[in-house]
Amino acid sequence: MKPVCVIVGPPGAGKTTVGQLVAAGLGVAFRDSDSDIEAVAGKPIPDIFVDDGEEHFRTLERAAIARALGSFDGVLALGGGAVLAEQTRALLREHRVVYLSVELADAAQRVGLGAGRPLLAVNPRATMRYLLDQRRPLYEEVAAVTVPTDGVTPEEVAATVLDALR
């Protein structure tokens, strides 16, 4: 069993919203690795970062993604930083990965001031620029398909993803 597709991208790209639309379009289940992590930890991601640190969160993230990749056959959305782990990137090479790209202006507008996003708590715009620059090559490395999300609706992005998957 393996996911129909895995959706990656930075915060604000629309991974969850588009993933749900793609799953509905394909008639399959949707799953978000961040929700899996919260279920295992018994608390929201911001609390994991504050209480246990980013390293602990990343350990939980790697394990949750490995489990989902091996046991789930729908549309799987990963957290924005999931591609930082070489172990995760290696696993993703065996899957159909869709990278939802977004530029700084749209990402900042969608994410706002980073409420509920621990890595964006201080100077969200500068941090977002850094995250986009740091992670873009990693998203591109794992992606079979790249779909720009700037200036288009989630429904339009989902339609493009569905066309690419067919």
CATH of the domain at 76: 3.40.50.300
Lowest mean pLDDT among 41-45, 100-104, 108-112, 114-118: 114-118
- Residue 104 has what pLDDT? 63
Look at residue 158 and tell me if it is in a domain: no
Look at residue 163 and tell me if it is in a domain: no
- Residue 113 has what pLDDT? 47
Q: Give 85-92 contacts, CB < 8 A, sequence gap 24+.
A: 85/58, 85/61, 87/62, 88/61, 88/62, 89/138, 89/141, 89/142, 91/65, 91/66, 92/6, 92/8, 92/142
Look at residue 37 and tell me if it is in a domain: yes
Looking at per-residue pLDDT, the higher value among 68 and 124 belongs to 68
Look at residue 156 and tell me if it is in a domain: no
Give the domain extent around 138.
5-151
Given pLDDT bands bounded at 50, 70 and 90, which one contains residue 131?
A: confident
Look at residue 161 and tell me if it is in a domain: no
Look at residue 71 and tell me if it is in a domain: yes
The pTM of the whole model exceeds 0.75: yes
Q: Which residue has the tokens 């794992």?
A: 142
Mean of the per-residue pLDDT values for the chain?
A: 88
Residues 69, 72, 74, 78, CA torsion sign? negative
- Residue 122 has what pLDDT? 55
Calculate the dihedral angle through the C-alpha atoms of 138, 112, 46, 8, rounding to the nearest 10 degrees: -30
HSE value, Cβ hemisphere, 13 Å, CA-based, for 65: 27
Structural domains counted in the chain: 1
Mean pLDDT of 90-115: 75
CA distance 144 to 166: 13
Mean pLDDT of 118-139: 74
β-pair type (97-101, 75-77): unpaired
Percent of the chain with pLDDT over 70: 86
Looking at per-residue pLDDT, the higher value among 71 and 107 belongs to 71
Look at residue 162 and tell me if it is in a domain: no
- Residue 166 has what pLDDT? 86
- Residue 60 has what pLDDT? 96
Look at residue 166 and tell me if it is in a domain: no
